[in-house]
Structure 1
Amino acid sequence: MHRKAQYQRIGSMSLSPSAPERCVSRDSMEDYWSEVKTIEEERQGGPEEMERASVDEAELEEAWLQEAGLSTLVTGTQSDGPAEALLSTLTRSQAAMVKKRVDNYTQTLRKRNRQPMRHVRDVFSMHDASSELTPPISPNGQIAPKLPQWNPPKVPPSCAAFTPADTNGSSSVSETIVLSFDVAYSEGARAHRKGRECQDCRRIRKDDRDLPSFQIVKPRQGVTRVSDLSSEDIKKIGYISLIELTTFYDFLGIEMKRNRVVRSKARDSGIFGVPLITLLENDQKKYPGSRVPLVFKKLLSKLEQTGLQTEGILRVPGSASRVKHLRQELELKFYEDRFDWDQVRQNDAAGLLKMFIRELPYPLLTQQHLPAFTAAQSISSPKHQIQALHLLIMLLPEANRDTLKALLEFLRKVVAYEEKNRMSLWNVSMIVAPNLFTFRGKNVKQEEMQGAVAAAQLVRLLITHQDLLWTVPCFLISHVRKMNEASMGKNTDFREEQAQTTEEMEHGEGARAQ
């Protein structure tokens, strides 16, 4: 009873009159706290928390640079990595952010009386980063004597302009916001850095029907989806997305925090508590080409066949003892094709689905980027929120992104049957949020629980605008195209140099023979 009263007090704290979520129904809040309580009860007597390592700022900066494809800027080692080509494509704002991270890395090492592998002067020119783009760096760490001329990124020809939104002053139930993929999102948030009020910073509305719609015109050459890209290009998209997201957050005044990835002793077989990548490797031995864990797909299929019209699906829990028994049965019989799915009731399947997500040893939204997802909750503009989510989706590993996509597609179907199952977008979001934003080995802090409605708002955006999130923004495609062109040019120069050297050697041998 004391526990429930505590949840209610925390819930009332988060619903202050000034908050955008002040009119959220009490039933929706009860759904959230009930889910949090279930999570905490499951953890009592469960596996121990992950080993906690002290956070080393220099190591975090180095990890950021490595994930951004710029590890050679601090290691000083020669590499075939994309650093030179990548740096040549950055906007001034993005380049300034990279310089800031390298500066912070260098200063942190100096405080500990450790010398960096390379001095910041070896990485960037000494000119003001706000007025000149950082020059590209050669793999051996030397700045080229003659820097290439920097040209501002141009709008890719494949991206059509947006049709202006209707501004005749008429009121509508749902606000329409123009969202452009042509220019880096950080460029649209520059007003924050200059201290001006950003016109996109509107407060979030409470009602399902008041979620904004985004006015988007498809590119003339078609939409590029993540699944259309090669693994190499997806990797490059990730490099740019991390730099762009960090720059974007910096303009919005949000600190880009990262969790240090701590490898826990995860299981290498079974179903629950097994990393996604391990599950997929095991599944692909039997079903090559699997992109989503088989058990996850089966649970979704079971719910779609029998549970979409069930009142309270996802909210009403199955019997705890039955779910525990079914979990054990799945562990023993699923991969032997001996598990009887007919014994699984709708609410049991929903409980197993949420349990699967919660017990992943590394969260579905990834351990290193979970703070960035959480930080997006504090963004007041729906437009900036969807832009942040768009970049974060680009950063997810393939297994996480595909599994999240399957989950969101299912949740959209649940909401579509609201008249039958009594599960509104708010209800579904409130229940799913604590399962996505907490994970095994992570204590739920009071301040995190106070952000219940903000977390649910992000889930609402993920569900509602998921089709947009699986497309790749044109400005990212433009970056990758330029990186590929730079790499091809470098390879061409290398081949020409080799050919010239060979020709000179052959000419010299011929002269000696004469």
Structure 2
Amino acid sequence: MLCNIIISQEMHQTQPVIFNPDFFVEKLRHERPQVFTELLLSNITRLIDLPGAEFSQLQGEADLKLPVSTGFLRLPSFLKRKEKGVIFGAPLTEEGIAQIYQLIEYLGKNLHVEGLFRVPGNSIRQQALREMLNGGADIDLESGDYYPHDVATLLKIFLGELPEPLLTHRHYHAHLKIAEMTLLDEKGNKTCVPNKERQIEALQLLFMLLPPANRALLKLLLDLLYQTAKQQDKNKMSAFNLALMFAPHIIWPKNVTANDLQDNLNKLNNGIAFLIKHSQKLFRAPPYIKDHARMLFAGSNTPQSKDDMALYTGAVSRGLLSSKRNSDEQCGGEQQHTHEALRDLFIHVSHMPESAKKKKLIRQFNKQGTPVRELSKPSNPKHSRSRSFGGLIKVCFSFKFMQLY
């Protein structure tokens, strides 16, 4: 079963059914963004001590103070090429993520390859693949024309060419502070032992402040790297080795070298390794955030507007996915974060105004076997599991007894 939800015919319509404990958090983000942001920031400052300037930077109220390059940073001409309307070198968008997901999906099937993300691919094949992605093409990576090292290198190039790091410049100093969190001894002095519980809590809060597109791609990427590290006996790529490959692309400030980062280099590398190892816990709202959000909306029993219903629909989708995750974990499956990120992205795209771009994105999702499907689309046996789950979600929406506290 894809969903561990049993619907009883004797269930009264007035009985509240909560599918996703994060629903009220999403409702708070959507309806009261300022309250949502202040709630997260107040708890972040409770966990980490950010000086005034760095806290203002996290809020977006101050100019960024980042390491500056002291040398001549020369990029290969291959990385400098910019064409109009491309996804490489452009701000992160839903369309860009939909295209790049083709690479992520392919790599997820080739995690056993030794030196994945470390061994460079062929530059000519990468250039051809890059141009196809920029053109919005659907690529058959199983054709044999491309190899895992080509695809892995191109994924790093895409991340490296984003106008700002995936984890954003605003969050740079916060990540450094989180890396410094350690346990205290009996006398209250700092030890060298990381305080993993508080680090995870701080990262959960920080990730909730990321732009939606960054958060969605980060989920996909960290899940891929987590699965890669699990097969390090075959691919020789541990979480720390992967962190060395990806830290320059997702957290280093732009146009700096390792020398510019000085003492912070180890913190950044260890920080990314920590994200990979604990990625399965980082995209959940802390319990007290869920409780606070629920209490704010305690008097609202049903969606009151079209936007509210759209948000409710998205929350139910993610709630059903959580039920699927529990079932998959019992069977040994660990693909939940990939599905969550894709579902969040699909929901965002589905609420875009009707346009040719929206239709193209929907087609791209359908081709990639995204868990949320349009009912009118024919079933593809290759992705029958994803499609049937999407159909289940659509059916669940129709039940009238779905109400909120």
| Partner of residue 294, structure 2 | 481
Q: In 2, distance between residues paired with 1:224 and 1:400?
A: 22
| Partner of residue 155, structure 2 | 353
Matched AA of 1:457? N
Q: Does 1:396 align with 2:200?
A: no
Q: In 2, distance between residues paired with 1:247 and 1:228?
A: 19
Q: In 1, distance between residues paired with 2:36 and 2:209?
A: 8
Q: In 2, distance between residues paired with 1:338 and 1:405?
A: 22
1:298–1:482 CA distance, 2 compared to 1 (3 A):
same
| Partner of residue 320, structure 1 | 123
| Total equivalences in the alignment | 249
Residue among 241, 244, 249 paired with 1:430? 244
Matches within 5 A, 1:42-61: none
* SS at 2:49 equivalent: helix
| Partner of residue 275, structure 1 | 91
| Partner of residue 369, structure 1 | 171
Matched AA of 1:275? P
Matched AA of 1:274? A
Matches within 5 A, 1:88-99: none
Q: In 2, distance between residues paired with 1:471 and 1:229?
A: 11
Matched AA of 1:243? S
How far off its partner does 1:485 sit? 5.7
What CA deviation, in whole Å up to 9, does each residue of 1:11-51 have, x standing for no partner?
Answer: xxxxxxxxxxxxxxxxxxxxxxxxxxxxxxxxxxxxxxxxx
- Counterpart contact for 1:357–1:435, Cα < 8 Å: yes
* SS at 2:86 equivalent: coil
- Counterpart contact for 2:239–2:273, Cα < 8 Å: yes
Q: Does 1:470 align with 2:274?
A: no
How far off its partner does 1:445 sit? 5.9
Matched AA of 1:256? F
1:374–1:267 CA distance, 2 compared to 1 (3 A):
farther
Q: In 1, distance between residues paired with 2:84 and 2:215?
A: 21
What CA deviation, in whole Å up to 9, does each residue of 1:26-82 have, x standing for no partner?
Answer: xxxxxxxxxxxxxxxxxxxxxxxxxxxxxxxxxxxxxxxxxxxxxxxxxxxxxxxxx
How far off its partner does 1:223 sit? 7.2
Matched AA of 1:374? L
Residue among 36, 41, 44 paired with 1:242? 41
Q: Between the two structures, name the one with larger relative contact order (CA 8 Å, sep ≥ 6).
A: 2
Name which one, 1 or 2, has greater alpha-carbon Rg. 1
What CA deviation, in whole Å up to 9, does each residue of 1:417-457 have, x standing for no partner?
Answer: 11111112221122222221125x43236252543332222
1:308–1:338 CA distance, 2 compared to 1 (3 A):
closer
| Partner of residue 107, structure 2 | 303
Matched AA of 1:435? H
Q: Which runs of 5+ in 2 are unaligned?
A: 1-17, 65-81, 183-193, 302-405
Matched AA of 1:330? L
1:336–1:408 CA distance, 2 compared to 1 (3 A):
closer
- Give the TM-score of the pair, scaled to structure 2: 0.53
What CA deviation, in whole Å up to 9, does each residue of 1:164-210 have, x standing for no partner?
Answer: xxxxxxxxxxxxxxxxxxxxxxxxxxxxxxxxxxxxxxxxxxxxxxx
Q: In 2, distance between residues paired with 1:337 and 1:357?
A: 20
| Partner of residue 123, structure 1 | none
Matches within 5 A, 1:59-458: 224-225=21-22, 229-230=26-27, 231-232=29-30, 235=33, 236-250=35-49, 256=55, 258=57, 269-276=85-92, 279-280=93-94, 283=95, 293-305=97-109, 307-332=110-135, 335-337=136-138, 342=143, 343-380=145-182, 381-383=194-196, 384-438=198-252, 441-444=254-257, 446-458=259-271
Matched AA of 2:201? Q
Q: In 1, distance between residues paired with 2:216 and 2:252?
A: 19
Matched AA of 2:103? L
- Counterpart contact for 1:303–1:346, Cα < 8 Å: yes
1:227–1:297 CA distance, 2 compared to 1 (3 A):
farther
How far off its partner does 1:228 sit? 7.5
Matched AA of 1:316? V
1:345–1:449 CA distance, 2 compared to 1 (3 A):
farther
Q: In 2, distance between residues paired with 1:234 and 1:360?
A: 29
Q: In 2, distance between residues paired with 1:374 and 1:456?
A: 10
What is the Cα-based RMSD across aligned positions, in Å? 3.5
Q: In 1, distance between residues paired with 2:158 and 2:179?
A: 24
Q: In 2, distance between residues paired with 1:222 and 1:487?
A: 16
* SS at 2:237 equivalent: coil
Q: Which runs of 5+ in 1 are unaligned?
A: 1-220, 284-291, 489-514
* SS at 2:55 equivalent: coil
